[in-house]
Amino acid sequence: MVKKINNSNKITNMNILFVTRLYSGFEKSLYQKSWKPEGVPTIYNLFKKLSLNHTLFIIFTAKDSGKTYTSNWIEEKDIDLKVENLKANIKVLCGTNYFFNFIPRKLAMIMRDLRQCIRIIFYIRKINPDIIYCDSANVVIAFVLTKLFPSKPIVVRVLGICSFWRSITNSQRIVHRIYKYSYRGNFSAVIGTQDGSGIEYWFQETLAKHVPRYVLLNGVDNLQKIKKVNKEYKTILFVGRLEEYKGILIFLRAMIKVLQSSKDNLNIIIIGDGTLYEESINICKNSGFLDSFQFLKSIPHIDVLKHHLGSDIYVSANTDGNLINTNLEAISSNDCMVIPYPQNKKFIDIETHKLLADAVVYYKVNDVNDLKDKILFLLNNPNKIKFFKEKIALTKLKFIKTWGKRMNEEEKILANIVNNN
Domain ranges of the chain: 15-219+401-420, 234-398
For the domain bounded by 15-219+401-420, which CATH number is listed?
Answer: 3.40.50.2000
Show pLDDT as tens, one digit a residue, over the chain (421 residues): 566 666 655 678 899 999 999 998 899 999 999 998 887 889 999 999 999 999 999 999 998 755 555 677 889 999 999 999 999 999 999 998 888 888 888 898 889 999 999 999 999 999 999 999 999 999 999 999 999 999 999 999 999 998 888 888 888 899 899 999 999 999 999 999 999 999 999 999 999 999 999 999 999 987 666 666 666 689 999 999 999 989 999 999 999 999 999 888 899 999 998 889 999 999 999 999 999 999 998 788 888 889 999 999 999 999 999 999 999 999 999 999 999 999 999 999 999 999 999 999 999 999 999 999 999 999 999 999 999 999 999 999 999 999 999 999 999 999 999 998 8
How far the first Cα of the chain sits from its last, in Å, is: 21
Tell me the C-alpha distance between 112 and 61, whole Å.
9
Q: Does CATH place domain 234-398 in 3.40.50.2000?
A: yes
- pTM of the predicted structure, to 2 decimals: 0.90
Residues 243 and 275: beta-carbon distance below 8 Å: yes
Strands 55-61, 86-93: pairing is parallel
Query: C-alpha 135: how far from its chain's center?
Result: 12
